[in-house]
Each structure stands twice: as C-alpha cells, then as structure tokens.
Chain A
Amino acid sequence: MTIKRHAAIGTSDMAAIGAALARGASRRDLMRWLGAAGMSAATAGLIIGDAGRALAQTPKRGGRIKVASQTSSTADTVDPAKQNNQTDYTRCFTFYNGLTRLDASLAPQLELAEAIESDSSATVWTIKLRRDVKFHDGTPLTADDVVFSLARHKDPATGSAAKALAAPMKEITASGKHEVKITLESPNADLPVVLGTPHFLVIKNGTSSFTTAIGTGPYRCQEFQPGIKSIGVRNAEYFKPGQPYLDEIELFGIPDQTARLNALLSGDVQIAAAISPQLAKRVQASPGYAVFETKAGGYNDLVIRQDSDLGKNQDLVLALKYLLNREQMKSAVFQGYAVLANDQPIDPTNRFYFPGLKQRPFDAEKAKFHLQRSGIGNTTVPLHAMASSTMLDQAVLIQQAAQQVGLTVDVKRMPADGYWSNVWMKQPLTMGSINPRPSADVLFTLFFKSDSTWNESAWKNEKFDQLLVAARGERDEAKRKQMYGEMQTLVHENCGIGLPVFISILDAHSAKLKGLKPIPTGGLMGYAYAENVWLEG
C-alpha cells in the first residue's frame, strides 16, 4: 500500500470545476463529467462541494481571532500524549503536525510524511519524512523526533491516552535521517489513519517539559496557561506555502454553551465551538454569524441486548427497528442537523460507506407484523435513557411510535450520574451514544466485535469478526471497501442496534471568518482549523 502526495484530481481540474460552477453548470452535469473521469459518486460529490464553497474565496493574510471552546481546566495540556478533550485537540493542532492528516472521507493524507509504504502484509511500514520542515526553535525535523514522538506512547510513565493504539507498534526505529520504520505486531492497513489521530502529533526529540509547545505547526506558542488561555502567533516558516493566514489565535474555554454563544454574538470571540442545534437556530437568526455544520459519524442508538430475553426475540428487535421514525428525529430532535442512518454505524462521509444498503423505513405495518410474530402480547417494554439528553428525546419518539402499533414502551429517565456504568449495556433496552471515530476499523472493533468490552448489544457474529480482521490487513482499498460493505450489511440485518440518525457537529462563527471545510473526525475541521481559516473585511 502506498500513499502519494496527490489529490484525486489536480489543482487545475479543481479550478475548471469552480469555473464551471460559476458559469452555472448544474451539479448533475459535473457529476456526469467526473463520473466519466472514473470517479465514484461519493468522491465526485465531495469535490463539487469543496469547489462550490471555495468559489470566490481567496485567502487573506492578517488579522487575529479569539476562539471559545467548550472546556477549560487546569488539566489543559500541550502534551499530545495527554490530550483529553476537544479543547486540547484544537490547541495542539495549532502548534503541531502529525505524519498524516485525515481528510473529508477519513482517508489519510500526507502531512509531515512524504511517502508511507508497507510490505505486502501491511506489517512493516516505511515512512519517508519531508526535508523542509523546521521546529519553531529552528531545528529541522528528523527521524529521531518522530521515533521519540511515537515510542513515548508505549512507556507507561508517559501516561498516554493512546497507549492502546501504540501498543501494536512492536518496533519503531530510525532507518535514515529522514526515514522511520515501524514494525507492527499484526497487519494493519490503517496505520496511516492511526498516525493521523491527535495523540500522534510530532514533538521534538527529548521533550520532557510541556510548559510551552515547540512543534512544527502553523502557529508558535506565545503563551500557554492551563485553565486560562493559549495564544499562538503565526509561524512565518511554516512548510505549507502561504499558510497560515491569521497573525494570531487566542484560545480559551467557556464551558456553558449559552455563555459561549453570547460571547460570540457580543463580538468578544469569533468562534464559539460546539453548540447545540437549538442554539444554532439563534445563530441563524443573527445577521453576521454562521453555523458551521460537520456531518460526522457520531450517533445515539437504541441498544437491544442480544443476551436478554427481549433481545433474543428477533421479531421484537425488527419491530423496534421499523419503529424508528428517522425523519422525525432528524427534524424534531436535531433541528435538521443530522443525516439519516440505516442501523449500521458507518456514515456516508466515510470512504468505506456502503451506499448499496437499502434504507430501512419507518413502517408501522411491518412493525405491527413483526410485533404480532414476536408473541410478546401486552408486555410492557422498559427503555432506559439518560435524563435531559437527546437520547431521551429520541426514546420518547420511539415510545410514541410504539403506541401507534399497540406496543407499550416505558421510558425510564435515568440520571446522568453513573449512567454509563450502571445503566448502559446493563439493562435489556437502553439508549447509547457514540462519538465519531477515525476509522471503520476502530468503530467496529470497539463496539461490534464479539469479544469487545463495549460490544453494546452483546452481538456475536463469527463471520463479522473474521471479516474485521481480514479487512484490517487488506491493502487493496477496493477489496477493503467490499469487506466493510459486507460488515455494514451484517450489522444492519442482524445486530441489536437501532441506529436512526448520524448527528452533525455544529460550531458557530463570525461570518467574516472563511475557509472552514468539514472533516468528520470532529468540529472545526477535525480540530485543525487554525491553518485554514482567514478573516475577510
């Protein structure tokens, strides 16, 4: 497997598409054109979207912004290994780079690496580094820095949050001044994806103090006070020509989201990260401000434990899946900021999404049919959900739909305290909530593999487990896509998970701020907005 530095199409093509859009070519025309060029519908759609958004948007240099994120505590860090929340990720991507970075379809793109290659078994990997990268203190990036940055995660003394991800890297060595060799314990074609996750950002060899950040990133750390703020100033020697555009970014946390939004609307900050759909409506109503929607893979789901009596009743499981009124949940609970899902966890932005799976509709007739076949009669079905959460809102909609077909669902409102340890996965029917993950492999391994601790619905499927391991070691992207398609079908048909919608991530910002494009690993361009945004006017 080889990743080279080229986009699906070149820059000149991009300009041509932009020009075509400007002339008034319809989306359909362009789809046909790109399709003729041998591109899949999903990729073509992404490209047209990008071109349309980038139209009439030439980055402008200069200016400073303030950014309010959702957390702030004295545990704030600039140590990539210890990052613990979205504010940390946002801060660290301002100062550091990874070897790769995930793009809009969660495919890895090269960043500090110039080329990444593996042997035929996807076990031994060779990473060639760029030679034009310098740390903020002027020292050039070498293989030693990368080896240090990766190997430290394996040391328990580091206290890395990514220890489990680093553990399979059996050997990490410098095979040249600008070349690193990684030997894995077992094949994993997704290593470039792992290297693009926030914890594997690259720091200087031997770094032991994290009172400030010395990275290769778009901004130099001028000030960092945990629990208060961090200030980054433009790195004029950044290896990406022309970037970054802003002179300064100040980042701090405002935990209360209404206060965060007020700070935006009063002009105190230019970005208020992570806001709810309800607040997004208020932003839409305020001229001069915009909502940045990232369609991503996070979701709330109906978890039906397959080891419970209720879950063993496959007709009841199916009836419940037919009772999910996805459209209603999308508009009522998420104000339209959601994407319909199909009872499997890979969302349409993912490069391994399988579009061929037929959408399971909201169908009272079918639900009724399966309900009768299940023979549960008048039994009341208890459904546990966390109080004052979107999970509860969705549970209530399920309850109402069930009422229509004569099934009594008793929604139990459980306190947030102890919900994940005492309720979720313990009761036969619960509502769960899963954050976006960087790859299909991680998502399936954590929440669907038979022997996983967090196999939400206690679903056991041998064929799925085999496919999962095989797909991880498969270097041929087309074959992988087919395998992940099969897995999505298996989950859709047999698993005890009802997955109504994927929830979009919303950030609010001043309309003068330009350049944001969704990356589905998280809000604010997968936290890496800093080098891509500029101020207009």
Chain B
Amino acid sequence: MLMLGMIARRVASGLLTLLIVSVIVFVGTNILPGDATEAILGQSTSPEAVAGLRKALGLDLPAHERYLRWLAGLLSGDPGVSLINRLPVAQLIGPRLANSLLLTALTAAVAVPLALLIGITTAIWRGSLYDRVANVTAVSLVAVPEFLLATVGVILFAVQLRWVSAMATPSVGSFTQALQNFTLPVLTLCFAVTAQMARMTRAALLGVLDSSYIEMARLKGVRPARLVLHHALRNAAGPIANAVPLNLSSLLGGVIIVEVIFSYPGLAKLAVDAVETRDMPLVQACAMIFCATFMLLVLLADICSILSNPRLRTR
C-alpha cells in the first residue's frame, strides 16, 4: 500500500515539476537575445523579412499566449512543429530518442555489472593492493574529462591503430559491426559512470560490513564470500539501487560531448542545436524528456530501495 501511495504521490508531483520546468525553460529561451527568425534568416535578415517570418511562425503573438498554445497542444498529444524546418517535433525526436536509449542501454549493460563487480570485490578485499589500485584508478578516471578520453580514444584507436570506427553509427547489425560502432563511445561513457557507481557500491557495502550483526556473523564463522553476498549485500542493496539510476540518468541528455566527437545522432546534440536556433517547441520537448527520465529513474530507485527493505516492504 505504501508503494502505491508513494507512486501516486510521485507521479502527481512529477507532473507539477514538469509544468514548472516548462515555464522556466520557456522564460529562459525568451530571455535569450534573438529568436528563430534570426536563426533562419542569418545574414540575409531584413526588417520586412523578419516581420513576415515572425508572423508566419506565430512569433508575433504575446509570450503567454504562445506558451498556452504549446501547452494545449502538448496536453492533446501534439508537441508541435519545429520552428526551423517545419517538421513535427515528434518526428524529429523519435529516431534520436531511440538512438540515445540504445547508447544508454549499451552503456548500462556494460557499466552496471562492471561497477557492481568492482564495488563488491573492493569491499571484500578492503585495504588490499587490489582495493587501493582500483580506488586510485576510479578517482583518476572520474577526474579526467570525457572530451579528453574521447578525443584520445579516437586518435589512438580509430586514426592511428584503425581498430574501430571514428564514427558511431547507431546501428547494431552484426556483432562485429556493433563492436566497431559502439566500443569507443560506450567505453568513454563507462569510464565516468562505472567509477562513480563502483565507489558508491563499495561505500554502501562497507557501511554495512562495519555493523555489529556482520561482526556477529563473522564470529560465528561465516565465510567471507557468503558474509558479503548473503548477509551484507541485501542490506546494502537500497543505497546501491539508488546510486545506479542516479548515475544513469545523466546518460540520456548529458552526453553532448560524446555525441559530437563520435558524430552520434542522439538527443543531447538536438537539444543544444534547438537552443541555439531558439526552436522553442523542440527545446521544450527535449527538456520534458530529460526531466521525465530523471524523475522516472529516481522513482525506480526508490521502489528498488523499498523492495529491498523488508520493514518497508511488508508494512
């Protein structure tokens, strides 16, 4: 019951958050100098052309009216039409969203098991040489910016060694083709998120391992592997389940650097381009997607931690 109530409350507050975000984004894009007409006309701008185009695009209406029109459209299931190329926003976003989800899924498929493995093993062998090496490596990788990793990766593995492609085409096809296309971008993204998740897993697990019931189990003679996997990990699952989605949430919209360097047609670049051209409907749609994904993942994390906690689960 607790669960259903929580989910209902979360969804309601999530919708309110989306509404507030949409207002903030709208006001933000309106404060920026220039509008879509100037982006379209570029150098061939003239007062008559700007006025004509503004009228044609509906930009001559007052701001609140434009916002309400967009909102009414969205509520009826139509996110509108791009101001720049007059294509439906849904059509523009659709394939890009699929590409972004594919990249996110592949990254998660590699990063999550790897992070858990590193996190758990370092916690088991706390203080060992392995633990220390893994920790230093993780911290260093978090500290190195993505663009450096990606650029060095391209120059080394694509341009010099020619092992993989310098472009990440969003198609899986055969296994070798998928390796060619995705190895570099997935690895680049993995470096950052894996390190974070592994460290958080290790910290959560260590917190549990220090508690008295673990000491009790150890005194009872439980073997280390069983101690960690059976006794400790269950209680650490909540915090770990929280750490994983939070780290993954940034993968959908926050990977602009990877998208640009590997010329991968994802959502992040689309969103940045839309802001540059003041393409309001497109900016709004992207913002809504990023925001909704984030909230969804957080909700998922909470559900996981409730499920992993018998006291909460059975109440």
Contacts and interface: CB of A to CB of B under 8 A. Distances in A.
> Do A and B associate with each other?
yes
A254 B263 contact: yes
A254 B167 CA distance: 9
A265 B260 CA distance: 17
A175 interface: no
A422 B33 contact: yes
A494 interface: no
Contact of A266 (B41, B87, B158): B158
A41 interface: no
A256 B261 contact: yes
Interface string B60-83: 000000000000000000000000
Given A263-B263, A266-B166, A74 B92 contact: yes
B110 interface: no
Contacts of A388: none
Interface string A381-425: 000000000000000000000000000000000010110111010
Contact of A73 (B85, B159, B165, B260): B85
B38 A421 contact: yes
A355 interface: no
B177 interface: no
B92 A421 contact: no
Interface stretch (B43-51, B221-229, B306-314): B43-51
B87 A259 contact: no
Given A255-B263, A256-B263, A262-B158, A421 B34 contact: yes
Interface string A261-274: 01101111000000
Given A75-B87, A421-B50, A256 B43 contact: no
| A: contact size bracket | 20 to 34
Interface in B259-291: 260-263, 265, 269, 276
A433 B276 CA distance: 20
Nearest to A227: B265
Contacts of A420: 38, 41-43, 45
B31 interface: no
A228 B50 CA distance: 31
Contact of A74 (B50, B87, B167): B87
A121 interface: no
Interface in B204-226: none
Contact of A454 (B44, B84, B85, B158): B44
B234 interface: no
A279 to B, nearest CB: 13
Most B CB atoms within 10 A — which of A73, A255, A266, A433? A266
Contacts of B33: 415, 417-418, 422
Contacts of B176: none
A74 B166 contact: no
Contact of A259 (B43, B91, B92, B263): B263
A417 B159 contact: no
A453 interface: yes
Contacts of B155: 262
Contacts of A254: 167, 263
Given A256-B260, A259-B166, A421 B32 contact: no
B38 A265 contact: no
Interface in A447-498: 453-454
A419 to B, nearest CB: 9
Contacts of A75: 84-85, 87
Interface in A57-82: 72-75
A454 B165 CA distance: 45
A118 to B, nearest CB: 29
Q: Which of A258, A415, A417 neighbours the largest number of chain B CB atoms within 10 Å of its CB?
A: A417
Contacts of B41: 420-421
A268 B167 contact: yes
A152 B92 CA distance: 28
A228 B96 CA distance: 11
B32 A74 contact: no
A259 B261 contact: yes
A457 to B, nearest CB: 15
B80 to A, nearest CB: 15
A268 B43 contact: no
B45 A259 contact: no
Residue from B50, B85, B162, B276 having most chain A Cβ neighbours under 10 A: B85
A259 B260 contact: yes
B167 A259 contact: yes
A454 B49 CA distance: 13
A535 to B, nearest CB: 19
Most buried by B among A255, A415, A424: A255
B154 interface: yes
Contact of B166 (A228, A262, A417, A424): A262
Interface in B138-182: 154-155, 158-159, 162, 165-167
A439 to B, nearest CB: 17
Given A259-B167, A417-B33, A424 B263 contact: no
Contacts of B165: 263, 266, 268
Nearest to B262: A259
Interface string A244-287: 00000000001110111011011110000000000000000000
B29 to A, nearest CB: 12
Contacts of B166: 259, 262-263, 265-266, 268
B87 A263 contact: no
Nearest to B48: A453
A266 to B, nearest CB: 4
Contacts of A256: 260-261, 263
Given A74-B87, A417-B32, A267 B263 contact: no
Nearest to A418: B34
Interface of A: 72-75, 227-228, 254-256, 258-260, 262-263, 265-268, 415, 417-418, 420-422, 424, 433, 453-454
26 contacts: A73-B85, A74-B91, A74-B92, A75-B87, A227-B265, A254-B167, A255-B260, A256-B260, A259-B154, A259-B166, A259-B261, A262-B155, A266-B154, A266-B162, A266-B165, A268-B158, A268-B165, A268-B167, A417-B276, A418-B34, A420-B42, A421-B41, A421-B50, A433-B43, A454-B43, A454-B46
Q: Please list the 10 inter-chain residue pairs (A to B) with the smallest Cβ-Cβ separation, ordered nearest first.
A: A75-B85, A418-B34, A266-B166, A266-B158, A262-B166, A254-B263, A420-B43, A453-B46, A265-B159, A259-B263
Given A227-B265, A266-B154, A420-B45, 4 more contacts: A262-B159, A268-B167, A417-B38, A418-B34
